[in-house]
Amino acid sequence: MKGSSSLHAKQSIWKKSLNARTALLYLFPSILLFSVFVFYPMFRTIYLSFFLTDQHGSAALFVGLENYAYLLESQAFRNSIKATVLFVLYTVPAGVILALFLALIANEKLKGIGFFRTIYSSSMGISVAASSVVWLFLFHPSVGMFNRLLTLVHLPEVQWLLDPDWALLSVSISTIWLNTGFSFLILLGGLQNIDGYLYESAKIDGAGYWYQLRRITIPMLSPTLFFIITISLINAFQSFGQIDILTKGGPSQATNLIVYSIYREAFVNYQFGTASAQAVFLFLCILIVTILQFKFGERKVHYQ
């Protein structure tokens, strides 16, 4: 009697967990992929940030929080943080406003508007490396288009990528251009989701374009704008490719953004410990900014 009842209990646990087991089976492929490519590297990074490493990147000596203490005291790292913050401030607002402007004009029902929509979103289809090479030519001090244009209108030439005062701005311009395509496409999609009857109703009430933009378009677009701002922020914090090709962090560390600094620390100086500590620091920064954004930005978002 006793045996059969415990058998019964065992069976029922096996049966009760049927749904959970099915769910796990479905989740297995993504759990596997995430573990290999996301979770393991992440925990490995955190682990390494507490160690000094040898040349092969394996942990050699446990140092606790010393890597972090070293970073916070380091002048170069503080410079990196400053450059990154400036870079985010240059690229995110300007990029979002530009994309919003392009999306608004491309949302008009005109003949041949499909052509402009394709053009405006085309930068999404170009790789960071390829476009950076193009920008490298545009910024070239003697044969670059920008300096040619400046000499045409008799203005002094600018050392776009070589002048420490200009380099970060130049990199920001190319980044804005690079990100516009994606932001434009998402914002255009958001605009087209807004019910056209709302505008017709506003038209009958006599609302002008700017009034409609302020009281209908922007509030209705706010979930999309919020998404784009979040994504752009994270992207800006993580920019690497254009830095590597355009300036290599120079001149005089003016464009040495955190991700580039991590790369240099790990693969040029072979200091995997401090590089990992920087990576963890960056992760925390992005996390905090995103949390703050959700906390304060989302209040102004109207979900349907």
Partner 1 sequence: MKRVELMNVSKTYDKKTEVISNINVMIEPGEFFVLVGPSGCGKSTMLRMIAGLEEITGGILRIGEKEANHLPPSKRDISMVFQNYALYPHLSVMENIVFGLHVKKIPKLERKTRCKDVAAMLGLSEYLNRKPRELSGGQRQRVALARAIVNEAPICLMDEPLSNLDAKLRAHMRSEIRQIQRRLGITMIYVTHDQVEAMTMGDRIMILHDGKIQQVGKPIDIYNHPANPFVATFIGSPPMNIAEGVMKRLQSEILVGDECEIKIPVEDSRLLQTEQVLVGIRPEHIKVASKETSHENRMVVEAINVEILGNETIFSFKIGSHEWMAKWNGQWHLHIGDQIPIQMDYESLCLFDRKTNERIKSATDIENNILDKEVFL
- Tell me which stretch binds partner 1 (CB under 8 A): 55-63, 65-73, 89-97, 218-226: 218-226
Instruction: Report the first-to-last Cα separation within the chain, whole angstroms.
Output: 59
Q: List binders of partner 1 among 271-300 (CB under 8 A).
A: none
Give the residue, chosen from 200, 269, 291, 298, that forms a contact with partner 1 under the rule CB under 8 A: 200
Q: Does 219 bind partner 1 (CB under 8 A)?
A: yes
Q: Which candidate, 253, 271, 251, places its Cα nearest to that of 262? A: 271
Residue placing its CB nearer to partner 1 in the complex, 22 or 193: 193
Give dist(CA 246, CA 84) in Å, integer: 16
Q: Which two tokens stand for residue 148?
A: 């040619």
- Tell me which stretch binds partner 1 (CB under 8 A): 9-17, 109-117, 216-224, 287-295: 216-224
Give dist(CA 67, CA 45) in Å, integer: 13
Question: Minimum distance between the CB of residue 225 and partner 1, rounded to whole angstroms?
Answer: 13
Q: Using omega within 30 degrees of 0 as the cis cutoff, is the peptide bond preceding 251 cis?
A: yes
Give dist(CA 32, CA 47) in Å, integer: 21
| Contact of 235 with 186, CB cutoff 8 Å | no
Question: Minimum distance between the CB of residue 302 and partner 1, rounded to whole angstroms?
Answer: 4
- The SS3 call for residue 239 is coil
Give dist(CA 170, CA 65) in Å, integer: 36
Question: Minimum distance between the CB of residue 202 and partner 1, rounded to whole angstroms?
Answer: 7
Q: Does 206 bind partner 1 (CB under 8 A)?
A: yes
Q: Does 109 bind partner 1 (CB under 8 A)?
A: no
Identify the sign of the CA torsion 96, 102, 107, 112: negative
- The SS3 call for residue 2 is helix
- Tell me which stretch binds partner 1 (CB under 8 A): 83-91, 167-175, 190-198, 288-296: 190-198
Give the residue, chosen from 86, 150, 162, 220, that forms a contact with partner 1 under the rule CB under 8 A: 220
Residue placing its CB nearer to partner 1 in the complex, 191 or 216: 216
Question: Minimum distance between the CB of residue 125 and partner 1, rounded to whole angstroms?
Answer: 34
Question: Minimum distance between the CB of residue 200 and partner 1, rounded to whole angstroms?
Answer: 5
The footprint of partner 1 (CB under 8 A) covers 195, 197-198, 200-207, 211, 215-216, 219-220, 222, 302, 304
